Amino acid sequence: MNFEQELRERHARANEIISEYLPGEQAVPGRLAEAMDYSIRIGGKRIRPILMQESYRMYGGHEAVVEPFMAAIEMIHTHSLIHDDLPALDNDELRRGNRTTHAVFGEAIGILAGDALLNFAYETALQAFGLTKETERVVEGLRILAGKSGLFGMLGGQSVDVENDKDGMCPLDQDELDYIYLHKTAALIEAPLMIGAVLAGAGKDEVSCMEEIGRRIGLAFQIQDDILDVTSTTGQLGKPIDSDRKNDKTTYVTLQGTTQSAKTVQELTKEAVRLLDTLPGEKEFLREMLLRMASRTR
């Protein structure tokens, strides 16, 4: 397998699917639709929709029902990035090598664009009902999507992260930091792996295993992000570096150091791949993707 070629093809297909479900730049509310479109199209690895499609294929899925969910998960992820970059949070003006949404459209439209993408994600996912007779699988996919992105998932983790080391709070310990990472980041890695499996008809134990894989690789992914924040460059990452220190945030690097953090990434990735190898289906590409996610340099 030529992984790089396969990845390019999957990335291109994910972009096509996402584009098909974008609202388009309507006359009214044109500025908001333009900001939504801009935020999605300025780049991105499309990791989450690709993971979802690979999970779906691994369990024998072959219908288009996965496609609106692929678009929806990227919309939710992009919503989180727009709001992360706002002045009230990280106050960054560079994302994916481009100006952030609020830097281009203003803070008010930036807030609304994030809100609109989150809501439109569910409008998009609901279209899956018209693409399959297995509607109970769509219901379960929607339950996972909502749960992993909401109060007890991504948004809950983000809320704790906002308070990380600010306003005179004590520095976080390891358990508190893990809570943030497992909810803010890992939840949106777990979701696509689980949804792909559910839509293809995988059993409960198999879906639970996919959740555990996502939990481990999602945590590894965020720790690698901590490492890159202090070892990479703005040009490589496409966003500001050293932002964690500037925002007085506790990270794995501040708790464990760079060397031990890298070892933790390797251990978590090894565990994720071991779990994947216990499951049925063709998974060569997915295995390699998990390895690349944790060893990425940007």
Entry pTM = 0.93
For the chain, the average pLDDT equals 91
- Average pLDDT, stretch 226-253? 70
Residues recorded for the chain? 298
- pLDDT at residue 241 greater than cutoff 60: no
Confidence of residue 168 (pLDDT cuts 50, 70, 90): very low
Q: How far are the Cα atoms of 19, 134, 156, 157, 278 from residue 185, in angstroms, in the given order?
A: 24, 29, 11, 8, 24
Provide the number of structural domains found in the chain: 1
CATH number at residue 57: 1.10.600.10
The kind and range of the H/E element at 266 are helix 252-276
User: Which of 133-142, 238-247, 248-257 ranks highest by mean pLDDT?
Assistant: 133-142
- Look up the domain containing 37 and give its range: 3-294
Confidence of residue 91 (pLDDT cuts 50, 70, 90): confident
Report how far residue 157's alpha carbon sits from residue 179's, in angstroms, rounded to the nearest whole number.
7
Helical residues (DSSP H) of 163-251, grouped into ranges: 174-181, 187-199, 204-231, 234-237, 243-246
pLDDT at 246: 57
- Average pLDDT, stretch 87-98? 86
The kind and range of the H/E element at 7 are helix 3-21
pLDDT at 194: 98
- pLDDT at residue 165 greater than cutoff 60: no
pLDDT at 182: 97
Tell me if residue 86 falls in helix, strand or coil.
coil
For 161, residues 6+ apart whose C-beta sits below 8 A from its C-beta are 180, 184, 249
- Average pLDDT, stretch 121-125? 98
